[in-house]
Amino acid sequence: MDETHEPLAREAGLHRSLTSGQLSMIAIGGAIGTGLFLGSGFAIGIAGPSVLVSYAIGGVIALLLMGALAEMTVAQPTAGSFGVYAEEFLGPLAGFLVRYAYWSCLVLAVGTEVTAVALYMKFWLPDAPGWWWVAGFSAGLVAINAVSVRVFGTLEYVFSLIKVVAIVAFVVLGAAVVFGARPESGIGFSNYVAHGGFLPNGAWGMWVAVILAIFSYLSIEVIAVGRARQASPGGR
């Protein structure tokens, strides 16, 4: 392989055990996590009802980004993904910066994930120290990733399926509460314009919440990184 494709050559040699279904569920599950279950509460506190617009803007950004990334991934499936593409087409410095920025992002994201686990577990076991859960779940994550890509793909598929089922259950439950509530209960769509209106903190609050919304979509790019570990990365 010539020097032009040297970055691709360095990423070769991975075990290819993931299926298309596993990759799809990993991407879906990546968008349903701490950013949605816990982070949405902070976003609502900042933007109020306009958080719907915030998440819509974040979704459009994620859609455009993944559309472009999907085209590059199909053409050149590699574990290095956008880091390799930046190095190959823009230069070594761009490749380094993209990789380092993504690494920093994931380090911070994993920290928030295990911290969220401690908060969740405090609800069920309030007397247990939070660091127990942080250390325990962190060790579990490392162990799952260290065993094999096949085990990782299977567990991620199961966990993602659980999150999808939970989202559907929340939607059904929320619809039942909203449409089944009595007018005098104060529950209903009228709250979208009450208590300060649709933009209680103005457009500033809505745009700040976009940052939290984008965080919620973090990990959908894993499908591009994992494409090189698919059983047939060059095909369907």
Q: Cα-flanking dihedrals φ and ψ of residue 213, to 5°?
A: -65, -45
Quote the pTM value: 0.72
Residue 122 CB partners (closer than 8 Å, separation 6+): 128, 130
68-88 tens-digit pLDDT: 887 887 777 776 778 888 888
Q: pLDDT higher for 11 or 176?
A: 176
Residue located via tokens 């050559």: 9
Closest to 210 in 3D by CA, of 102, 50, 65, 34:
50
Let me know: does 15 contact 229? Beta carbons within 8 Å.
yes
Q: Cα-flanking dihedrals φ and ψ of residue 3, to 5°?
A: -65, -25
**46 token code pair:** 């900042």
Q: How far apart are alpha carbons 121 and 143 in whole angstroms?
A: 20
Q: How far apart are alpha carbons 198 and 206 in whole angstroms?
A: 10
- How is the chain split into domains, by residue range? 15-226
Q: CA 30, 32, 33, 36: dihedral to nearest 10 degrees?
A: 130
Let me know: does 228 contact 17? Beta carbons within 8 Å.
no
95-120 tens-digit pLDDT: 899 888 888 887 887 787 788 888 88
Let me know: does 153 contact 27? Beta carbons within 8 Å.
no
| Strand partners of residue 230 | 18
Q: Where are the alpha helices (DSSP H) in 48-148?
A: 51-75, 81-90, 92-124, 130-147
- Band of pLDDT at residue 6, cut at 50, 70 and 90: low
